[in-house]
Amino acid sequence: MLSKSIETAINNQIKVEADSSQIYLAMASWAEVQGFEGIATFMYNQSDEERMHMLKLVKYANQRGGNAKIPNVIEPVLDCSSFKALFTQLYEHEVMVSQSINNLVHVSLGEKDYATHNFLQWYVSEQIEEEATARTILDKINLIGDDKGGLYLFDNDMKNFSGNQ
């Protein structure tokens, strides 16, 4: 049985994952309208992954006798002034998600809820990957700058990136 404080902390994380899914969806739609098919595909896939992260938490909370709360959807505010700005926002968002997962791990240990602690290890590993992916992409964008040819190749590259996820 989940304690009230763990239930609340999981519900907070459910919202973080739901917001992440919305942010990636907004980025996907923006990239699609701009004609960047590869980036759009990557973002759509990420959005689906974040929804899956949210669902896992919903099911876990309910399975442990808690009550998962389904949050409102937010309208994401994107910085589309440049690709660099957009991917910096993405990277910073993932760092924030990792911190949020770490907090949750901390709360579960404090409460000696080892089942939740064990369940969260999957998220800890997932965040290592997601942060690394975001950092790799940002490094590439920094190399390309505003070069149109480079962006074209980068967009193509992103299709494969999505395939590897």
Q: Which residues bind ligand OFO (CB under 6 A)?
A: 17, 20, 50, 53, 94, 97, 123, 126-127, 130
CB of 50 to ligand OFO, least distance (A): 5
Please tell me whether residue 91 adopts helix, strand or coil conformation: helix
User: What is d(CA 135, CA 89) in angstroms, rounded to the nearest whole number?
Assistant: 11
Q: Which residue is nearest to ligand OFO (CB)?
A: 53
Residue type, 12: N
Which residues in 11-33 are b (16+ Cβ under 10 Å) and which e? bbbbbbbbbbbbbbbbbbbbbee
CA-to-CA separations, 68 to 11, 65, 103, 141, 152, in angstroms, rounded:
6, 9, 18, 38, 43
Nearest residue (CB) to ligand OFO, 7 versus 94? 94
CB of 144 to ligand OFO, least distance (A): 24
Nearest residue (CB) to ligand OFO, 10 versus 147? 10
CB of 54 to ligand OFO, least distance (A): 8
Nearest residue (CB) to ligand OFO, 102 versus 156? 102
Contact of 94 with 134, CB cutoff 8 Å: yes
CB of 97 to ligand OFO, least distance (A): 4
Two tokens, residue 120 = 């969260």
Nearest residue (CB) to ligand OFO, 39 versus 97? 97
